[in-house]
Amino acid sequence: MIRTQVSLSEAEYSAAKREAARLGISLAELLRRSLRGVLPANGAQPWMRYAGMIESGDKAASQHIDDIVYGQKK
C-alpha cells in the first residue's frame, strides 16, 4: 500500500466517519471503496465500472440473468 494524505472539509470528514462506522469499516477502507467506484477496474474495459451495481434481491439471479436484465418472458 502507498500512504497518502487527503484534505476534507469538516462536514465531509464527519459524514465519511459516520458512513464508515455504519458499514463497520475504517475510514481508509471507505475511501478506497469510493475511489474504486469511480475508477474503471481495467482501463481497457471501462464498462466494468458498472459490474455489481444492480441488486435484484434474488440469490439465484445469475441463473436467469436475461429475465432480470430484459424482463420476464411472456
For the cut 60, the answer to whether the pLDDT of residue 74 exceeds it is no
Backbone angles phi, psi at 29, to 5 degrees: -70, -40
DSSP 61: G
Instruction: Name the domain count of the chain.
Output: 1
**Stretch 33-55: mean pLDDT:** 70
> Is 37 part of a structural domain of the chain?
yes
Q: Which candidate, 65, 43, 63, places its Cα nearest to that of 54?
A: 65
> Is 32 part of a structural domain of the chain?
yes
- Helix, strand, coil abundance in the chain, percent, nearest 5: 55, 0, 45
> Is 5 part of a structural domain of the chain?
no
Answer yes or no: pTM beyond 0.85. no
For the cut 90, the answer to whether the pLDDT of residue 18 exceeds it is yes
Range of the domain at 49: 10-70
In sequence order, the 6+-apart residues with CB closer than 8 A to the CB of 48 are 40, 41, 42
> Is 24 part of a structural domain of the chain?
yes
